[in-house]
Structure 1
Amino acid sequence: MRSRYRTTMTGSLLTACFSAVVILSHTAVADDQGPASGRGGKAMDKAPAGVRVTTLLPSKISVDNSTRKTALTATVKNEGTKESGDIRLLVVGFDGLTVKSVKGCTKMGEKDLPKGSNSGFVCSVGNLTAGGSKSYAVDATFDLGKEGKICLPVQTGDGRTTYWQQGPVPFGTTNPSPNAPATPLLLGTDNKPVAPGGDALPKTGPSGSVLPFGAAGAALVSAGAAGLWWVRRRPRAQA
């Protein structure tokens, strides 16, 4: 059985997310991310009247081919007409993407990570005014030999309700450039890694698949949001 804390941490997490975000130490790449996008996002549990929280990811990032580092900005917004109340943002990495740090946020314990993920952080956003937003600097590493994914759920401060989730949404490239200094990755693009031989470009991992969240298990249907999942404090059941 999980502790109540762990249930709050992972029990409210939704499904796996896709994205290839990576840590980039103070380079221009972090500043050249193109317009922010809510692609792959969907409203989940019903929010209070007048509250509409969303998230944004950069439309493109760049991975340093020698260090595997990159950076991105994750933004949470309240596009409603009333204050959001106490909320938090989760930043979770999968497969080739490993989130190394999120400025101002707390690292999730290994036992609290969603199933299939390799890293995660919890950001206490607090109360967002109507029209307000808050951005977080995300550092990560990206293994270009794999697909990479990221997920951004927005929950109530206690983690019991998820208002919004961006993901699963991939970052990737269909034209790997292993000999270049950096490889640009686009939001919403499945990564096609270069094979060991250098010629074939096989996919590593199931295309368009959704990985389950939560060590306790997950159900593929969240109330009011078919196709996305929600982890409860009970045995896993997949729809």
Structure 2
Amino acid sequence: MQGKRFGALIAATAAAVLFLPFTAAADDPGSGQGGKAGPSVPAGVKLTTELPKQIKVDNKAGTTSGLTAKVSNGGTKDSGPITLSVLGLGGMKITGVDGCIAIPKGRLLKGVNSGFACVMDNLAAGKSKSYQVSATYDLKAKGQICLPVTEGTSEKVFWQQGPIPFGTTKPTPNAPDTPLLLGTDNVPAGPAQPSEAPGSGGGLPKTGAGVALPAGLVGGALLLVGGGGIWWTTRSHRAARH
């Protein structure tokens, strides 16, 4: 089998993402808010991601609509192989990303409930690629989404947006759906579920003032890999590229 011949590939995308702190201005209307570039981005490559400013969630079914994930290269040089991951936390669960591979639950960091890895051979300078994302949202909890972009199947993070919340401060339980705004903490429509609060899983490494970086994370690697790496066969890898 091809899978056995070539073996499995490690994609260090979301298994143990080191969630970066972000500071988004209160008046920042951009859908790239909450994003931060990693220190290992090659000269001439400028990768960013974008999320919609607003999505909706069906109050009965809990399904979302209008959710997309876009990755762009605003630089002057091609990116080379990259992987975009779409991760759900708390009340937001990612159920599908068109053309991408589901990350096994056993490979997700504690605190991340779902994720998909989107492998690209290259993203040319000045080009972008959008993915349709399917997700569910529990309006009784707070939900977040995270978009890290890594170099190929390596541990180098070129860009990471989030974890950033989608939510509403004005629940509309009697309406057909509820609009959710990017960068807004959700006010639960019912009793809050502490176990669903972002970061409550206790497994999300953090950086920032007063928090020491884990050993070995000096300079480029903003992603913790090792036993938590995501594996898929060459066949699956090829399927994700189409």
Per the normalisation by structure 2, the TM-score is 0.74
Query: How many residues are aligned here?
Result: 207
What is the aligned counterpart of 1:153 among 148, 152, 158?
A: 148
Q: Which runs of 5+ in 1 are unaligned?
A: 19-34, 197-201
Q: Shift in Å at residue 126 of structure 1?
A: 2.1
Q: Shift in Å at residue 230 of structure 1?
A: 3.2
Q: Which residue of 1 aligns with 2:19?
A: 15
Cα gap change, 1:110 to 1:45, in 2 (>3 Å):
same
- State the distance in 2 between where 1:210 and 1:16 align: 16
- State the distance in 2 between where 1:211 and 1:186 align: 24
Q: Which residue of 2 aligns with 1:107?
A: 102
- Tell whether the 8 Å contact from 1:44 to 1:223 is kept in structure 2 after alignment: no
1:8 counterpart letter in structure 2: A
- State the distance in 2 between where 1:42 and 1:122 align: 19
Q: Which residue of 1 aligns with 2:85?
A: 90
- State the distance in 1 between where 2:225 and 2:164 align: 23
Q: Which residue of 2 aligns with 1:63?
A: 57
- Tell whether the 8 Å contact from 2:101 to 2:117 is kept in structure 1 after alignment: yes
Q: Shift in Å at residue 159 of structure 1?
A: 3.0
- State the distance in 2 between where 1:130 and 1:117 align: 31
Q: Does 1:53 align with 2:47?
A: yes
Write 1 or 2 for the structure with the bigger share of strand. Answer: 1
2:63 counterpart letter in structure 1: K
Q: Identity of aligned pairs, percent?
A: 46
- Tell whether the 8 Å contact from 1:17 to 1:149 is kept in structure 2 after alignment: no
Q: Which residue of 2 aligns with 1:176?
A: 171
Cα gap change, 1:16 to 1:180, in 2 (>3 Å):
farther
Q: Cα deviation per residue 1:16-37 (whole Å; 9 max; x = unaligned)?
A: 899xxxxxxxxxxxxxxxx861
SS of 1:111's equivalent in the other structure is helix
Q: Which runs of 5+ in 2 are unaligned?
A: 1-7, 23-28, 208-212, 229-242
Per the normalisation by structure 1, the TM-score is 0.75
What is the Cα-based RMSD across aligned positions, in Å? 3.2
- Tell whether the 8 Å contact from 2:11 to 2:153 is kept in structure 1 after alignment: no
- State the distance in 1 between where 2:21 and 2:113 align: 12
Q: Does 1:233 align with 2:226?
A: yes
